[in-house]
A and B are shown apart, each in its own frame.
Chain A
Amino acid sequence: MSALAAVFQNLNPVLDRELRQRSRSARSIVMMSLLLTALAGVLYIAHLAMTDNNQFGDPLSAISTGTGAVMYEWVLFAELALLLLIIPGISASAISGERDRQTLVTLQVTLMGRVSIFFGKVAASSAFVLLLLIASTPLLAVPFLVGGVGLGRILMGFVVTLCTGVIYATLGVACSAVFRRTQTATLLTYVMVFAAVAGSIVVLVVLAVIQTAQGDFTDPSRVSLYANPFVGVADAAGELNRGFDFPGPFSAIKQSMWGEQLDGGTSGVVPNWATALIVQAAIAGAWVVAALRRLRLPQREVD
């Protein structure tokens, strides 16, 4: 038996079943098609914008060093944004959906533990995120061919985006375990995604206002921004001090986060993207604990 066959034979039963069901679902294909169409559109618009810039803007801007990088950042930015919209939809019904279909009880009375059930669901949602990312790699390869962005940077962006997707998929599955109703779980997951994206910026603004009111005109602490999913990916996919007129979105975020630091904020042992992932994983981890408590049997009340 090959190693790969052995892996598939010992797959978590929940993951195995979910993969089987998802591969037969038209919804997955439609979702993937829509994502790829949207990303292709973003790639085309970014290309047009950069071409126009080169024609009518600074004619000395080298298309080989600027265009590809900006196109890459916009495609990845759009992909992350779309993933953050898609992931609650695919993950927040993982366990509450089983409750709705009355299949959770029959699963819970098997010899699969709650940890195995929970992480089987997380793995299934994460596998779909991975599939979406892999499906979009040809679009990410276009900027590489245009030039201006290295393979290492593309890979780093891919990996950190995948990790971010897995964290939010975990959050969604945890919400679906904690809340009985799928609608509540989905809504709460979207609220948490919004809180991480917009709330982290609001916290920064509030801190700045408080500091200014106290006569302190230094920059406020940007710790809250590490909870923002775009910040971690920005560190992996963006570039500092590129000197172009039109930096990509991730380079702009990276510049604003760490541009003023001489070392670009990289002097610590842990890279910034890793710190961001750790902060986000810690938030999701708290929900995982609550979810596993909720799945423990016997319960005080039947679901």
Chain B
Amino acid sequence: MSLDPGGPGSDGMTTVTELEQLVVDADPIIQARGLTKRYGNLTALNEFTLDIPRGSIYGIIGPNGAGKSTAFSILATLLKPTSGTARVCGADPTKAPRSVRKHMGYMPDVMGVYERLTVAEYLQFHAAAYKVPRTDWPELVHGLLQLVDLDVKADALVDRLSRGMKQRLSLARAMVHDPDLLILDEPASGLDPRARIEFRELLVALQEMGKTVLISSHILAELQRMCTDIAVIEAGNLLAAGSPKAILEQLGNGRRVKVTFEDRSVEEFSVTDLADQAALLRRLVMNNDREVVEFTEVATDLEGLFLQITQGIVQ
């Protein structure tokens, strides 16, 4: 093994630097361990433990008051947890918030705008706040506005933009310092269908650029289309985490089948696995009361999964 830390191994062997990079890449970009946040008697977040792999689009879903924004606020260095630890981009958001902010872009659920500031000035202001050298601003602003498809609005006043444009601008703002991680709290709320589709495509493009995206949303279909992984949270408790498929398998009772009988009546049954599904079909066919004319598996989407996992608990 080459010990030259300066360049790639010309002899086809892996250098120390490359190995270190591989280790870093393999590390989850977010590691939360037992994060708990209490406000008096209310537990907003309870023992939240989660690893978020680099390069993923990780969706957090849960009803209002589930603890999503609390978790995001802790990870985004805004809120101190009552207990538990976290590492975000290799640093502790409580003890080294500045190190986290260097590598993390945060988009809160509500985008505030400054009056009497143009779109370009808005981004320049945040570039200055992130200590981006002034000489880089023109190219940076142009590139970001092109990415979020707002380049024609560079000289428009921010408070005159539509909601969808403001959301895209807010995303551009979160990226002015080229962070590795984007934490987006309900970014698609209030957007019309076209704006939502454009926003989703934008996030997929960001993932392809190597960014990790942590996103919360109420619009479950949106998350299903773009997320590589999801976590379901309710009443401060993490109920499930992983890929939607893995969660279904983890839950065991994820399969549902729809059976149509000869009298056109339709019934749904829950089955645990394929064997159980076959056993159900055999039972129904053997039963002489009603003839089965159709037997189909119901595709479980994120919405169905969400309803299965959560109980509608409101704190």
Binding site for B on A (CB under 8 A): 9, 13-14, 16-17, 20-21, 24-25, 98, 101-113, 297-302
Contacts and interface: CB of A to CB of B under 8 A. Distances in A.
Contact of A110 (B94, B112, B126, B134): B126
A300 B115 CA distance: 30
B186 to A, nearest CB: 13
Contact of B128 (A16, A104, A302): A16
A34 to B, nearest CB: 20
B126 A106 contact: yes
A110 B130 contact: yes
Interface string B133-153: 010000000000000000000
Nearest to A24: B116
A170 B80 CA distance: 28
Contact of B112 (A101, A111, A302): A101
A143 B126 CA distance: 46
25 contacts: A14-B129, A20-B117, A21-B117, A25-B116, A98-B112, A102-B108, A103-B113, A103-B114, A105-B106, A106-B112, A109-B106, A110-B101, A110-B126, A110-B129, A111-B101, A111-B102, A111-B129, A297-B77, A297-B97, A298-B78, A298-B93, A300-B79, A301-B39, A302-B69, A302-B79
A261 B119 CA distance: 61
Nearest to B117: A21
Interface of B: 39, 69, 73-74, 76-80, 93-94, 97-98, 101-102, 104, 106, 108, 110-117, 121, 125-126, 128-131, 134, 170, 173, 177
Nearest to B173: A106
B236 to A, nearest CB: 15
Contacts of B98: 111, 113
Q: Which of B39, B106, B111, B114 has the most CB of A within 10 A?
A: B114
A103 B116 CA distance: 14
A257 B126 CA distance: 50
Contact of A106 (B93, B104, B106): B106
Q: Which of B73, B78, B98, B110 has the most CB of A within 10 A?
A: B78
Contacts of B111: 102
Contacts of A107: 129
A17 B79 contact: no
A231 B27 CA distance: 64
A300 B80 contact: yes
A13 B101 contact: no
Contacts of A24: 116
Contacts of B108: 102, 105-106
A25 B116 CA distance: 8
Given A9-B134, A109-B101, A111-B102, A298 B128 contact: no
Contact of B125 (A16, A25, A297): A16
Contacts of A13: 125, 128-129
Contacts of B170: 106
B97 A298 contact: yes
Contacts of B126: 106, 110
Contacts of A25: 116
B253 to A, nearest CB: 37
Contacts of A14: 129
A104 B106 CA distance: 12
Contacts of A301: 39, 79
Given A104-B112, A300-B79, 14 more contacts: A13-B129, A17-B114, A20-B117, A20-B121, A105-B78, A105-B108, A106-B112, A106-B170, A109-B78, A111-B98, A112-B129, A113-B98, A298-B80, A302-B78
A21 B116 CA distance: 6
A13 B128 CA distance: 6
Contacts of A9: 134
Nearest to A22: B116
